[in-house]
Structure 1
Amino acid sequence: YTNVRNLAGGLGAWKKAELPVVTGSMPEAPKAGTAPEIKDQALYELLKGFFTSLPDGFYSIKADKLNTELAEGKAYNLIDVRREDEFQKNGYIAGAVNLPMETLFASLDKLPAKDAPIVIYCASGHRGAIVAMGLRLLGYTNVINLVGGINAWKAAGFPLEGVVDWNALWGDFLTNLPENFYTITAANLNSALVEKAPFLLDVREAAELEKDGYIEGAVHIPVRQVLDNLDKLPAQDQPIVVYCGSGHRGAFVMAALRFLGYTDVVNLVGGLNAWKKAELPVVTGSMPEAPKAGTAPQVDALRLEGLKAFFAGLPEGFGTIKAGDLNAALGEATKPFILDVRTEKEYTEDGHIEGSVHIPINTLWANLDKLPAKDARIVVLCKSGHRGALAMMALRMNGYTDVVNLLGGTNAWVAAELPLVK
C-alpha cells in the first residue's frame, strides 16, 4: 500500500480543532471487494499475528503512569526517537537516550537486551508507535510507547531536562509577587542612598543619559547589554536597584536578574521620571564612569539563553505604546485587547479604561483562558508601567507575539487627560 498516512493526534486532534464528528450511530459495515495479491506471505502472517495478539492498552503507557512508575524507581530504558534538533531544542525526559527513528534500526547495538523494559516516545506518539511495533516484530518483548509522546508529558506538567519551562517559572513568579511587586519608590531610594547605598543600575540608552541626566553613583549598562555584562554587577545576594525612564525596561531587568539567582533586586517605580518629579537631584553634563569588570556569577545557562533571546528581540520603543496612540487605536474598527493587571481597588476606585479586561497580575497565570489568541494585539497596563512590563515579558516569553505595555500606565493616561470609568 503506497499512499497510507496516519492522522496526527488522532480523533483527539480532530475534535480539538473543533471539526465535526458523527454521534448516535455507527458507520456502515465496510463492503467486501477483491483482496490484493499477498506477495510476501510470511510478512503477512507476521503482521497479522501482531495485530491479533494486541493486548488491552495496545502496548502503550500514559504519561501519569510512567511518571509514577519512574518516581517509584522502576527501571525503564527511555528511548527518545525524535530528531536530534527536537531533542536539543524542546527538552527530554530525564535519563532518555536519543536514537532518532530514521537511524535507530541501524543502531540496534545501542539498545538494551531484548527482554529489557523499554519505553519509546516521540513528540505525539506516531513515530513512537512505529518504532515500538518494529522492535516487537524483531523480538523485543517488553517495549511500550508513551501515549501522546512528550506533548502529553508536558501537558501533564511533568518535568523535562535540557529546556526551561518558562510557563511554570513565570506562573510562579507572578503569582507570588510581594505586595510591593519588587519596586522601590523615589523617596525610599533617596533615603537608601544616604544610609547604605545599593548598587544603582541605569539601563537607559546613552542618549537618554546625555539628555536627561542620571542619578549620582549609577552604573550605566543599556538594557539589551545587561545580560552580557553580569561580571559588572555585584554579588547575587547584594542589593541592586534598577531604573530606566519610566519603569518599563527596569522591570524587565529586575525580573531577568531574579530568574538568574539575584535575590535582592528591585525596580525604581516610575523610573527617572518619578525621581525628577520628586525634585531629587540628577547629574548632568557628563556620563557615569564605565563599570568595572569582575567575576561573572555561575547562572543557569538555559535560563540565560532564553532571557537573552527576549532582550535581543525587543523592538524599537521596547514594546510600549503611548497613551495618545492607544486612545487612537481604541477608535479603530479592530480594537486591541486591553488587559489591566492592577489590583481590584485600583481598578474600581481609581478608574479604568472603558472595555478593558481586569486580571490582577498575581492571578494572571490562572486566567490565561480569558486572553485572546496568542497572535492577537494585547495592550497591558498598570498604574506606572512596572507590572504591565512584567506581564508583557511573561506573555511574550510564552508565545504571545503582539503584546505591548502602556507607557507610564494609567498615570500617563490621566496626564494625557484621557477618560477613566469609575
Structure 2
Amino acid sequence: MIESLLIANRGEIARRIIRTAKRLGIRAIAVYSEADAGMPFVVEADEAVCVGPANPAQSYRNTEAILAAAKSTGAQAIHPGYGFLSENADFARTVEENGLIWVGPSADAITAMGDKINARNLMAAAGVPVAPGTQDPAATVEAALEAAGTIGFPVMVKAAAGGGGMGMAVANDEAGLRTEYDKVRGFAERMFGDGSVLIERYFPRVRHVEVQILGLADGRVVALSERECSVQRRNQKLVEEAPSPAVSPELRARFLAAAVKAGEAVGYRNAGTVECLLDPATGEFFFLEMNTRLQVEHPITELIHGLDLVEEQLRIASGEAPTFDPDALTTTGHAIELRINAEDPKRFLPGPGKVTTWVEPSGDGVRVDSGYAADTTVTPFYDSLMAKLIVHGTDRADAIAKARAAVAGFEIVGPKSNLPFFAELLENDEFLGGDYDTGIVSRMR
C-alpha cells in the first residue's frame, strides 16, 4: 500500500481524501495556495506546502510546483481529486514519468475520453448506445447546419473538449444554431484551447443518470450502481440520489452492462463515471461522457454500498485487491447528496464572503463533507462548493425526511448559500414523486 500521498486539490475533497489516508496510516500531504493558508484541509494534513498565489493557474494547476512539492516531501503518489488537474492527461503522464504513482486512470484513457467526439465514436464501436450526432467536429456553421438537418431540431451544441456541463447550448432552429455555434466555439477556444464543436440531438425532457465504475488492479471493470443527477442549474448538478427513482431492475442491468463495456473499451483502471441521458418516455439511454476521476457525488454510492471509494482508489493504484467481492455487490437503502454552494438560492449567482457562523447538522444517516468552518473565507478564486450534505435512509422517503431535517439544522452565516433552495426542493411535489427531469429547477424558478 502507498505510504505517502500528496493531494493535488483543496477544500472538501482534499479533506475527504486526507480522512481516508489517515485511517489507512498513509501520510497525507496537502498543497495550498496563498489564499487557502489556514484552511481546514491544510491544518488537517500531516504536511502542507504552499504552491503559489490564489490564481489556480499559478497554484493548483501549476504542475511544476506540485511536482516539486511531491519530491520535497517524499510523496510516493498523487491523488488529483476532481477538477483542476484531475483529467489532465499530460500531468498524469508526467507524474508517472517522475516515478510517482498516479491515483487515477492511465493518461491514454484520460485522452481517449477527454474529447467528446472521440469518446462518442469509441463508445459506439464498443456497442454502447450514443445519441444521434456528428462523428467529426462541425468545423463551420454550415457543417453544423447540415448536421442539424440530418439529426433534426432541436440540437445540442457542445464543446468537444468541455466537461462538467460547460460549453453547451440548445438551438431550436437555424437562426439559433448560427448564434449558439459561434458562442460555444468562442467559449471553447477561450476555456479549453480547443474550439471543436459537436452537434447532437437535444431531448427536451431527459434525465441525467450515471454509473460508478471501478477498473480493478487485476484488469476487471466493475459497475457499482447508478446515480440520478437530474436536479441541475446551468447544466451543472445540485442534487444527486442513489439509486435512481427512474431506473427499474431491467433498465439497471442494461445501464451497468453498458458502463462495463465503456470501461473495457479503454482498458480503464481506478474510479470513473459513465454519464448517460435517459429518455423517460421510451426508456432509451445514450452515452454522454465518461469522467475519468472521482466524482463530487461519490458519497451516495459509498453509503448504499458500504464502501470507501477513496480507499478502493488507493488499493487499485497500489496493485491490491478491492475490499469487496465484485461478484456479490449489494445495496442498502437510499442516499441523497445536496451541494451546498456559496450562491444565492434564486438566481444561483456566486456570493463569497467570510464565514462567521458554521453549524453542521448531525445524526443517524447524516454526513457532511465540508471544506469550510467558522472564521474561514469563501473567496471568488475557486468553485462555490462549500460542503456536501449527504443523507442515507432506509428508503427514499426516509432519506428525504432526513434531508429536510439536516437542511433545517445547517446554519451558515457570512457568504450566501443555496440552503433555502433545498428546503423548497424537498417540499416540491415533482421531486417528491420521483418523476422529474433536468428541467425541474427552471420550472421551480
TM-score range, shorter chain: under 0.3
Please state which structure has a larger fraction of its residues in strand: 2
Name the larger-Rg structure. Answer: 1
TM-score normalized with structure 1 length: 0.25
Higher helix share: 1
